[in-house]
Amino acid sequence: MNVLSQATAFGGMQGVFSHPSEACNCDMTFAVFVPPQAIKEPRPVLWYLSGLTCTHANVMDKGEYRRMAAELGLIIVCPDTSPRGNEVPDELTNWQMGKGAGFYLDATQEPWAENFQMYTYVTEELPAFVAQHFRVDMSRQGIFGHSMGGHGAMTIALKHPDRFKSCSAFAPIVNPSTAEWSVGAFEKYLGAGKAAWRQYDACSLVEDGARFPEFLIDQGKADAYLEKGLAPWLFEAAIKDTDIALTLRMHERYDHSYNFISTFMDDHLAWHAERLV
């Protein structure tokens, strides 16, 4: 493990680390906040998955999670959103594809399959690595994220209801199979056959029988992507005849930025802590 930076914050430690990833076939960077309570005992871990164009750094810099995480004793892990490096394929002029746009799936199509194995990375390789290097209680895990990362969090929770005790999302892409900004990427990563897309689509997963007890979703009504990319009402419709509980909060005047996320970060951390701590 390579320590890129470490600093004391809110009595705990905010660090940035990198390690060689077998799944992604490149070095991967991630951020970890360790609360002061972890000196005494292993603490619950909360995975934050970021949105398109982001790295681990956006939420670390702008998410304002440390004060409350320190109070509640939560370890926060923030992975990158894609493989990185000169050897990794990309579409330089397309922010919805390639670097910064891994969509938390395992690509099956060339040239992407060689590196874009973010599902395996985030659900297997990184958790094993974090469990080895930090004082995490892996029996108490929650997952959340923003936009593309909200999609990641919800699909991963739906496929691992026994592993995660809590899931929430800020402005998630709940139906990437139809959303304007993900259809192109899904086709390139997974091929034209839409059957393979369903395992990475929260609405499709629910239709196909996947279950998770409850979700918290916050969504800004001034979000420019609300209608064509996010549309949380599609998830509301998908769970209608299930026992999945959804707390969907629509907020006047809030956009898609970290101004929105940081405003409701405390609520999300408290939501997870109620189910984890």
259 contributes a contact to a second copy by CB under 8 A: yes
Residue 114's nearest CA partner among 82, 151, 69, 154 is 82
Which positions are catalytic? 147, 223, 256
- Region 105-144 residues binding a second copy, contact defined as CB under 8 A: none
Stretch that binds a second copy, among 4-12, 174-182, 184-192, 193-201 (CB under 8 A): 4-12
Compare residues 227 and 253 and give the one whose CB is closer to a second copy.
Answer: 253
Spell out the alpha helix ranges (H) of the chain: 57-62, 66-72, 118-120, 126-133, 148-159, 183-190, 202-207, 233-238, 258-276
* Residue count (the chain): 277
Candidates 11, 20, 111, 161: give the one binding a second copy (CB under 8 A).
11
- At its nearest, how many Å lie between a second copy and the CB of residue 135? 18
Q: Segment contacting a second copy (CB under 8 A): 62-70, 115-123, 139-147, 162-170?
A: 62-70
Q: Which of residues 192-231 bind a second copy (CB under 8 A)?
A: 220, 222
Amino acid (one-letter) located at 186: F
Instruction: Report the nearest approach of a second copy to the CB of residue 193 (Å).
Output: 40
> Three-state DSSP class for 265?
helix
Among the residue ranges 128-136, 164-172, 231-239, 261-269, the one whose residues contact a second copy (CB under 8 A): 261-269
- Sheet strands side by side (includes 26-34): 2-9, 12-21, 26-34, 75-79, 43-49, 136-146, 164-170, 214-220, 245-251
Site track 66-85 with a second copy (rule: CB under 8 A), x = hit? xx------------------
In our burial notation (b when 16+ CB lie closer than 10 A, e otherwise), range 65-99 reads: bbebbbbbbbbbbbbbbbbbeeebbbeeeeebbbb
User: Binding residues for a second copy, per CB under 8 A?
Assistant: 7-11, 14, 61-62, 64, 66-67, 220, 222, 253-255, 257-260, 262-263, 266
